[in-house]
Copies of this chain bind each other. A is one copy, B any other.
Amino acid sequence: MNSDFTQRVRTIMKAHDFLLGIGDIASATKVSQRQLRYWEKKGYIHPAKSSEERRHRKYSYHTLMKVAMIQSYVDSGYTLSVAVEKASQHEEMSNALKHLIGDRLRDFNILEDGYELDFGMVEGVSQDKSLIAIMRKDRPTEFVLRNNSND
């Protein structure tokens, strides 16, 4: 739990405030620029506020996820308006994921064949234990509870 590490996590979080151009959103999601502009006109998505002054639209990470989600529902056979409605139910998911990392990631170790992520204590479990995600090459990610230093 060193402060240098904390600084790096903060850097990663901050970098998530990037903005994408309409062409980049289009190729990432397979939703055409024409569709994106139409969806905006209908109020389903919005370019980032910080790009309002500019001529070229810029979209947030959050909007990228929303577009991907809407298209996913459209692909499943829903009409656009219903897809938008359904997507909004999952809209918070990507934000939740972002917060989880920033809130709880305590340390990071590189192994020979993978990595370990330390997420700290778990409620109702001895405070001497930390939750560790172990990710090794060609193996599914495992969670374990590990003693904090004495072992």
Contacts and interface: CB of A to CB of B under 8 A. Distances in A.
Interface of A: 7-8, 11-12, 14-15, 17-21, 23-25, 27-29, 58, 64-65, 67-69, 72, 76, 89-90, 92-94, 96-97, 99-101, 103-105, 108, 110, 115, 117, 119-125, 131, 133, 135, 140-145
A103 B27 contact: no
Contacts of A100: 117, 133, 135, 141
A94 to B, nearest CB: 6
A4 to B, nearest CB: 9
B90 A108 contact: yes
Contacts of A120: 143
Contacts of A115: 92-93, 96
Q: Which 9 A-B pairs have the closest CB atoms?
A: A18-B28, A15-B68, A103-B141, A11-B72, A122-B143, A123-B144, A96-B115, A104-B141, A11-B68
Nearest to A8: B90
A45 to B, nearest CB: 14
Given A103-B141, A142-B123, A108 B135 contact: no
Nearest to A139: B103
A57 to B, nearest CB: 12
